[in-house]
Structure 1
Amino acid sequence: MSKHTALVAGGTSGIGLATARKLRERGYDVHITGRGKEKLDDIAATDPGLTGHQADGGDAAAMTAVAESLGQVDVLVISLSGAEGAGPIAELDLDRLRRAFDAKFWAHLTTLQAVLPRLAPTGSVTLLTAISARTGMPGTTGLAAINGALEATVKPLAAELAPIRVNAVSPGVVDTAWWSSMPAEQREPYFAQLAAALPTRQVGTAEDVAEGVVFMATNPNVTGTVLETDGGARLISL
């Protein structure tokens, strides 16, 4: 019996890479995409069980070529993002916010549209959003707009594409490279402060969130759902 094929767009770091590894452990033939050749080369050395493809999720032709090379995709995980979009609204650079929409919202839809003709009829699509879509944290208006727009697509897509399943996973604060722009001497006390406030008393890891992604991607009885893996951030005021 041939293996099922999983494609993780944006699978070279953080939640995407953790998800790719867990799908591989589940026996999937796992392919990942990333923009940078250096990262893909590093992963080829550390994770020879993952097959890398250099492709930008916002490039329809590149993603179509990847999908066509796979023949059929059973599990599609879209874990694409950028580092822009945060900040107080009075100071928010709207050009940067537009780039942030390109890097996440439009890249998610571009990837989905490109891979859709190759998705198995019993396949699944799992989007990566963020808890900013449903919290009132100051300085996250741009991020809330991006992630809220993505989450708004989940139910109509699940109805439209059935029996293909469509879900999303919504992380809270996760200790990944997304925070690398914050110096370590600031990030560590900030994470400690957040951990003390969260009901779970911990900041999430990429592996924590990946467990949820794999569940949503592989459970045949879940569709049209956004799974919150936020440590309870939506329950408190941060």
Structure 2
Amino acid sequence: MTTATAGIENQQVVIVAGTSGIGRQLAQDAIGRGARVTITGRDADAVRAVADSIEGEVATAVVDLSNEESIEELATELARRDVVVDHLISLANAPAKGPVEKLERDAIIGAFDAKVIGALLLVKHLRPTVSVTLFSGIVAWRPRPGMAVTATSNGAVAFLAQALAVELAPVRVNAVSPGVVDSGAWDALGAAGKDKLFADTAARNPARRIGTSQEVSGAVLDAISNQFLTGTVLHLDGGARLV
């Protein structure tokens, strides 16, 4: 009888767009579970800075998901390093926000390059052997004015995970949909603005709090270790999509 969960010790985890707070946490926690980690991003200096801030050895690489040649080069570089990708995690995001009448075509395409087209091309060229995890987001289930592209691209990720779970089987494919998480993404609002957003969010959602990068990271790493979980969206939003 086989177990439905397995560790990721000595397995290769490639984190695409890993320079965010959640990406950094994922890398740190994956190393803590014994995995070998590669972080990628569009900016070499930003990727290296994140890698240097992590305890343990982290490999780095550069990739632009809007450019298939760049993705091919990443695959070639990983092969040169004898990296066989066990787990692929993509946090790529390129928001195109604003009223429909003001949206620019390039921004719309960029959003889908990051979330959908880029994900497909990553799978095509990197050929992960165990799991793929893509990042969606709560706005797909709770759309609001000015977020049509973000809602649609995030929603597409959920359906892409299902389609790839069938096509790539037995490689497992899932999506993660975070709500408001204290990951550093909201710091640009300033202390007062961030505190108000967090307080308002916590007052409305059933969990009565916001999430943490550690909680998102833990759920992702548990998911990639669970051999019976595929074609699923993990909603890490404190129940906010329900209210």
| TM-score interval (norm. to shorter) | 0.7 to 0.9
2:75 aligns with 64
- Residues 1:75 and 2:87 are matched in the alignment: yes
Indicate if the aligned counterparts of 1:10 and 1:57 stay in contact, CA closer than 8 A: no
The one-letter amino acid paired with 1:114 is H
Partner Cα distance (1:71, 1:40) in 2: 18
Residue of 190, 193, 200 corresponding to 1:186: 193
The count of aligned residue pairs is 230
- Give how far 1:40 is off: 2.4
- Residues 1:125 and 2:132 are matched in the alignment: yes
Alignment CA distance shift 1:140-1:27 (3 Å): same
Indicate if the aligned counterparts of 1:75 and 1:218 stay in contact, CA closer than 8 A: no
1:102 aligns with 113
Say what the alpha-carbon RMSD is for the aligned residues: 2.0
Gaps of 5+ in 1: none
Alignment CA distance shift 1:139-1:36 (3 Å): same
2:57 aligns with 49
For 1:153, what is the secondary structure of its paired residue?
helix
1:147 aligns with 154
Partner Cα distance (1:137, 1:42) in 2: 35
Q: Deviations over 1:65-84 (max 9, x none)?
A: 243234311111111112x3
The one-letter amino acid paired with 1:139 is G
Partner Cα distance (2:192, 2:45) in 1: 28
Q: Deviations over 1:16-54 (max 9, x none)?
A: 221121111111111111122222232333224221112
Alignment CA distance shift 1:56-1:177 (3 Å): farther
TM (norm. structure 1) is: 0.87
- Give how far 1:91 is off: 4.2
Indicate if the aligned counterparts of 1:24 and 1:30 stay in contact, CA closer than 8 A: yes
Indicate if the aligned counterparts of 1:126 and 1:167 stay in contact, CA closer than 8 A: yes
Q: How does 1:217-228 map onto structure 2 within 5 Å?
A: 217-228=224-235
- Give how far 1:158 is off: 0.7
Indicate if the aligned counterparts of 1:20 and 1:30 stay in contact, CA closer than 8 A: yes
Alignment CA distance shift 1:187-1:57 (3 Å): same
Alignment CA distance shift 1:196-1:54 (3 Å): same
